[in-house]
Structure 1
Amino acid sequence: MALAKLGAVVLDCPDPRALAAFYAEVLGGTVEGDGDWVDLRLPEGGTLAFQAAPGHVPPKWPAPDASQQFHLDVTVEDLDAAEREVLALGAKALDTEDRARTFRVYADPAGHPFCLCAC
């Protein structure tokens, strides 16, 4: 039996509402709250939350001397179509060299790395 269950994954960022809106476009769901804490209630359950961090410094990727801390893997059916959409929403491509892989790496508008992964 588990000791606990996951309540939410929380990302520090300079603008919680804006980053929640970005991920709502990528993942679906409902954005709730305003101010220093905003939740994205995901359609399949679970919460991705965003907390204001005025001095937020985005993780570096790739950087052998700095940790990315964590990243999100997002499963998609069509990598090319999903890539066009996330770039249009404000993501930045971090790794475009090997287009034959089953994943691609991006940074969200606040600089957190995430991967689009083929299903």
Structure 2
Amino acid sequence: MAVAKLGTVVLDCPDPVALAGFYAQVLGGRTEDDGEGWVDLKTDDGTALAFQSAPGHVPPQWPRAEAPQQFHLDLTVEDLEAAEREVLSLGATLLEAGDPSRTWRVYADPAGHPFCLCAC
């Protein structure tokens, strides 16, 4: 049984508005800017991407390890507490629990890549 379903793929970048605009032109759809360094792209076919401001962003130099690919996954869950227990038992590490009233938490997978569990 799956623990979560993929919610949104988030790309770190120096200018979320500009990068979201690029992908909107490539994929179609509309962008929604939260005004705080986060832009969502929702395409007509249901594909969703998000773009997050990352000061000091170093672009990846694929396939060079010196500047690897940079992204994190938002995984949508129904029960945040149960999903957290499950991912921790599978080898994830809690990176940021944050404010208990938030509907998301940050983890690292066993290889160190960040991802979020987000309550729906």
- Alignment TM-score, normalising by the size of structure 1: 0.52
Distance 2:40 2:29 in 1: 10
Q: Which residue of 1 aligns with 2:19?
A: 19
Aligned length: 70
Distance 1:62 1:3 in 2: 31
Please state if 1:60 is matched with 2:69. Answer: no
Per the TM alignment, residue 67 of structure 1 is displaced from its structure 2 partner at its CA by 5.7
Unmatched tracts of structure 2, length 5 or more: 72-120
Runs of 4+ in 1 over 4 A off after TM superposition: none
**Greater strand share, structure number:** 2
Identity over aligned residues, as a percent? 66
Q: 1-side partners of 2:22 and 2:30: how far apart?
A: 12
5 Å-filtered alignment, 1:1-119, equals 1-35=1-35, 36-63=37-64, 65-66=65-66, 68-69=68-69
Matched letter for residue 43 of structure 1: D
Amino acid at match of 2:26: V
| Contact 2:58/2:67 (<8 A) preserved | no
Q: Which runs of 5+ in 1 are unaligned?
A: 72-119
Cα RMSD, aligned residues only = 2.0
SS of aligned partner of 1:21: helix
